[in-house]
Amino acid sequence: MLIWQDGDWRVSETVSSRDRGFLLGDGLFETMLAQEGRVRRLDRHWRRLTTSAQALGFPVDLKVEEVARGIATLIALDPALRSYAALRLTLSRGIGPRGLLPPELPLVTWRLAGAAYQPPRGPAILARTAIRRDPDLPSCRHKTLSMIDQIAATQEARAQGASHGLLFGPHERIACATSANLWILRDGQALTPPIVDGAMAGVTRAALLEAAVGRAREASLGWDDLLAADGIFLSNALMGLLPARPIGASGGPSASAIARIAKLQDLLTEAG
């Protein structure tokens, strides 16, 4: 793991026990895919993180070019990261006094970590969970360090024999999966829940909506829409687009659905 300190990235495996990210989940993070040393959509990840930082009052004392340099250093230090790597950039509000109120002038902490990554083989198996997302809450609008809802939903899904849990927002509308955005194929379109239904503003989600204009759009979805879909897939920064099916559904995704998902993946790849 690297930590930003005194204007440079330094190797460190320790986190202060007084760090607000450790104690309170007071921080933000981005998970990114590196392939052969190249990070997919680094600028988009950086834009999302810094937009959230500004909204939540985190000072940003780092530039995206310095993040890119840190990533190159991290990969050079660990040969296991040179093929496929899951990278994580973490911003914590740093060390502060006891209590919830942040310090007036926080000394934020930046960390970079990586692990070798093997893209999953589909399909993902989806199960309903009791966890609800409220699109008005900061924990829903921003990618914060507090992931307890996603952890609980994953545990609930695994107990049912599924790989991913589905979280719902207002009015029993699907928000997203535990660590990915949800899509269905219907009437020649790829549909994904809107942010107002509790969906996370995923980087890959946004990139696909832009790359597949006219073929991908937002739409409110319920469980019945999932069951009646021509195809289902998940999206996130690591796995790209992964075919999926609801738990209990007979058979896997159809050949035509897999072909359509592959075409959307090609559009996404071409867009960079």
Residue 225, SS3?
A: helix
Residues 92 and 133 in one domain: no
Q: 267 in the Ramachandran plot: left (φ > 0), alpha (ψ -120 to 50) or beta?
A: alpha
How far is Cα 96 from Cα 165, in angstroms, rounded to an integer?
A: 35
Q: In the prediction, which pLDDT does 13 show?
A: 87
- From 93, 116, 139, the end of a domain falls on 116
Q: In the prediction, which pLDDT does 252 show?
A: 78
Task: Give the domain extent around 199.
Answer: 124-271
CATH number at residue 247: 3.20.10.10
Cβ contacts of 270 within 8 Å, gap of 6 or more: 211
Q: In the prediction, which pLDDT does 249 show?
A: 84
Residue 103, SS3?
A: coil
Residues 110 and 139 in one domain: no
Give residue for tokens 């909204």. Answer: 55
User: Could you read off the pLDDT tens digit of each residue along the chain, which spans 272 residues?
Assistant: 999 987 899 999 888 999 999 999 999 999 999 999 999 999 999 999 999 999 999 999 999 999 999 999 999 999 999 999 999 999 999 998 999 999 988 999 999 999 999 989 879 999 999 999 999 999 999 999 999 999 999 999 999 999 999 999 999 999 999 999 999 999 999 999 999 999 999 999 999 999 999 999 999 999 999 999 999 999 999 999 999 999 988 777 889 999 999 999 999 989 87
Q: In the prediction, which pLDDT does 201 show?
A: 96
Distances 67 to 6, 43, 102, 111 between C-alpha atoms, Å = 14, 10, 25, 10
Sheet with 109-116, strands from edge to edge, namely 8-11, 2-5, 109-116, 84-92, 27-35, 38-39
What tokens appear for 20 in the block? 């607000």
Residues 95 and 140 in one domain: no
- From 116, 140, 162, the end of a domain falls on 116
How far is Cα 211 from Cα 156, in angstroms, rounded to an integer?
A: 34
Residues 128 and 171 in one domain: yes
Cβ contacts of 269 within 8 Å, gap of 6 or more: none
What tokens appear for 30 in the block? 């981005």
Q: In the prediction, which pLDDT does 213 show?
A: 93
CB 244 within 8 A of CB 176: no
Residues 161 and 191 in one domain: yes
